[in-house]
Amino acid sequence: MKTKKLLCLLLILTLLLVGCGKANTSSTDSSTSQTEDSENNTSDDTDESSDDTSEPEPEAESYTFEAHLHTAFLSEFIGDDRLQSMYNLIDAIREGKDTFECLDEETYKICTSEVVLSDFYPPACVYVTGESNDGTTPYENGIGRIYYTIPKEEFMEKCAAFENEVNRILSETVKVNYTDFEKCLALYEFVTVNFEYNYGEWPGYEPQGATFHCTLYKTGICCEIASVYTYLLQTCGVDAIDISGSDHEWTYVRIDNEGYHIDPTWGLHYEDMDLSLMYFMETDEKRYEDGLDTSNLRFGSVYYYTGGTDADMSKYTATSKKYSTLWNYSYVSIDRKKKILYYKDFFDEKIMEFEY
């Protein structure tokens, strides 16, 4: 009898062990299936290697605030000598100094212009001026004087707030190993998702120095939003400049010797909508189809950079249709290792690939 009971107990234990083994196997299979599905899906930044045995690559460095903006456009329109005077001014005002070395009096007037200051160092616009407020001579013998319109301590706080915000944006958005196209896309996504169009006033609004305030408060009109986007691109070394026409302003970039139009304002992302690529990397023809008069475009800042001369716009066209495939679709994700951008139709979930 005891032998029969013992055999029964052994049989029960054996069945339980077999049952537990089957449950664990099923759980493992399910987990493996979910992992494979996850790896097959695209993500916002698909940079991971498919080789699980390889060591992870160190994360690329991010860009940081750059006091000395330098692109081919800026050298072309201002000249390196005048750029150096601009850098001298920026270095001086970031330290709260009252003078800086300057090439000549004309360069002094250009460097202290509100428009030029807004482009090169937005916090200084309207808070730094070349107009004497104490009876001293603004420029003399290679030295330009700096006049602050608010107390220096307050100004330095504005500078710190701006530079910190630029560092935050860049650290979250762009890496130094990105291509220029990838930089344009990453910052386009950031601006169009996080900024909003606002023609009126907002908390902290001041009627001037709008690029500075738009950077901090993420709200403004076309000229302000475009200027922020252009400034961030220039900080990352992309050849970019503000362009305008038909009472509207956006950004013109030059990549691989080809010009393109990017309109972050018209591309602003709204709730429950996909991120549109309709206004990203456009041609002159596409801008015309958007309803803009492309026969009268201008780089507004160049007039101030040169002291009164507009750029010859016949040299700055946008004819390449390399990215035209994307215009009628929305952005999904990007694989920077494979150089593939994933996009989809606005009305269905079919994901397509664009090799760039």
- The per-residue pLDDT for 349 is 84
Domain extent, residue 193, equals 72-355
- Of 329, 330, 328, 356, which Cα lies nearest the Cα of 341? 356
pLDDT of residue 19: 38
- Predicted local confidence at residue 14, as pLDDT: 37
> Does 57 fall in a domain?
no
Q: Is residue 234 part of a domain?
A: yes
Over the chain, what is the mean pLDDT? Answer: 86
Q: Which residue has the higher pLDDT, 34 or 67?
A: 67
- CB-neighbour burial class of residue 12 (10 A; exposed 0-12, middle 13-18, buried 19+): exposed
Q: Is residue 191 part of a domain?
A: yes
Q: Please tell me the predicted confidence (pLDDT) of residue 101.
A: 98
Q: How many domains does the chain have?
A: 1
Residue 17 lies in a domain: no
Residue 89 in domain: yes
Residue 306 in any domain: the answer is: yes
Q: What is the pLDDT of residue 40?
A: 36
Q: Strand order in 239-245's β-sheet? A: 239-245, 248-255, 258-262
Task: Say what the pLDDT of residue 102 is.
Answer: 98
Global pTM exceeds 0.85: no
pLDDT of 311:
96
In a domain, 211, yes or no: yes
Rg, C-alpha atoms of the chain: 28
pLDDT in tens, 150-206: 999 999 999 999 999 999 999 999 999 999 999 999 999 999 999 999 876 655 556
Domain-located, residue 104: yes
Q: At residue 330, what are phi and psi to the nearest 5 degrees?
A: -115, 155
Whether 266 shows a pLDDT value over 70: the answer reads yes
The count of other CB atoms within 10 Å of the CB of residue 267 is 22
